[in-house]
Amino acid sequence: MTPMIRNVVLPLAALIALALTPIFVIDSYTRHLFIIAFIYAIIASNWNLSLGQCGVFNFGHLTFFGVGVYTAAILAKTVGLNPLLAIAAAGVTAPIVAFLMAAPVARLKGIYVVLVTFAFSQLVMQLVLSQSQITGGAEGMVRIPYLKIGDYSFIRDYKLGYYYLCLGLLVVSTIFLILIARSPFGKSLKAVRDAEDYAVSRGISVSRQRVLTLALSAIFTGVAGGFYAIYLRVASPEVFGFGTLTLALSMLLIGGVGTTYGPIVAALAISFATESLAGIRGFEEARYIVIAIAMILVLRLAPEGILGLFRRLTG
């Protein structure tokens, strides 16, 4: 299979198929599953920018998502800002938090990066819990204003508007990641990941690249968090939880670390697979064990992920 077909034709065909899906799928719940899958696809693919492209073991990536959730929730409900602007604002606050996280880890390596980024995530969660007068504390925030453009209400169209808006965010996010990967900056990230000493000898600042990478990976992750809050009309501390983190991480690992489309494909597959397993008696909780086993098998048999395996099989 030629690179043109693999990198352009197949993704474009998949996009057309997703754009046409609501025409044939009118069930609002199935559309809801697609929307959740799109959100996770944005999270996982942007996580790949720091973990896969730059090699930063950032286990605080879901912090950016959570910050986006609460930014949109607070601005839309408490401040009264238009929900669409609140979603956009989430893409600003998340990179700011990313800079704060990046400062102490810019010169750290290995397990120390994992520990500090995870600890930072827990710190932000405790801050959310402690400021209950603003964030709602452990109970979170509910009845967040929904999207409305003129007379068009997004909660009365069987999730059609939310579907296309989230798909559009995924497309823009993916283009953003592709442009970064193909830019000189993206090539410098791979140099930092694969040969740090060589990168330094070529005048590349490892600390600066790590800081910028974390900030860039936070932009659309924060936007996804803002959309999540406005779409579900709920902001809960659970978004910082270990369950959400492991699910997003499984999508990244199964899809393929270092690939742009792999986490997106895995997000769609895993979202629908977990829902299908939930409908089978006895698998309501065991479905997460199945996903964990699948992740172990992929890492053992195809470390490059399902997309890497597909590329190997198709030449």
For the chain, 315 residues long, give each residue's pLDDT as a single digit of tens.
676 777 788 889 999 999 999 999 999 999 999 999 999 999 999 999 999 888 888 889 999 999 999 999 999 999 999 999 999 999 999 999 999 999 888 888 778 888 899 899 999 999 999 999 999 999 999 999 999 888 888 888 889 999 999 999 999 999 999 999 999 999 998 888 888 888 888 888 888 999 999 999 999 999 999 999 999 999 999 998 887 888 898 899 899 888 889 999 999 999 888 887 766 776 666 777 777 788 888 878 777 788 777 777 776
Q: Say which amino acid occupies 175.
A: I
Position 145 scores a pLDDT of: 93
- DSSP assignment of 92-118 equals HHHHHHHHHHHHHHTT--THHHHHHHH
Helices (H), 138-286: 160-182, 184-194, 196-201, 206-232, 242-255, 262-278
222/151 Cα distance (integer angstroms): 27
Position 302 scores a pLDDT of: 77
Please give the backbone phi and psi of residue 26, each rounded to the nearest 5 degrees, phi first.
-100, -5
Residues 172, 15: contact at Cβ < 8 Å?
Answer: no
Position 283 scores a pLDDT of: 65
Domain span holding position 59: 3-314
Position 315 scores a pLDDT of: 61
Number of domains in the chain: 1
233: helix, coil or strand?
coil
How buried is residue 274: exposed, middle or buried, by Cβ count under 10 Å (0-12/13-18/19+)? middle
Q: What is the CATH number of the domain that holds 206?
A: 1.10.3470
What angle, rounded to 10 degrees, do the helices at 184-194 and 206-232 form?
Answer: 110
Position 38 scores a pLDDT of: 97
Helix (H) or strand (E) holding 70: helix 61-73
177/162 Cα distance (integer angstroms): 22
Between CA 298 and CA 209, with CA 121 as vertex, the angle to 5 degrees is: 75
Position 109 scores a pLDDT of: 79
Contacts with 215 (C-beta within 8 Å, 6 or more apart), sequence order: 95, 98, 99, 102
For the whole prediction, is pTM greater than 0.85? yes
- Measure CA 131 to chain center: 26
295/308 Cα distance (integer angstroms): 14
E-strand stretches of 12-78: none
54: helix, coil or strand?
coil
Residues 298, 305: contact at Cβ < 8 Å?
Answer: yes
Residues 53, 258: contact at Cβ < 8 Å?
Answer: yes
Position 156 scores a pLDDT of: 82
Q: Dihedral sign, CA of 45, 243, 169, 59?
A: negative
How buried is residue 260: exposed, middle or buried, by Cβ count under 10 Å (0-12/13-18/19+)? buried
315: helix, coil or strand?
coil
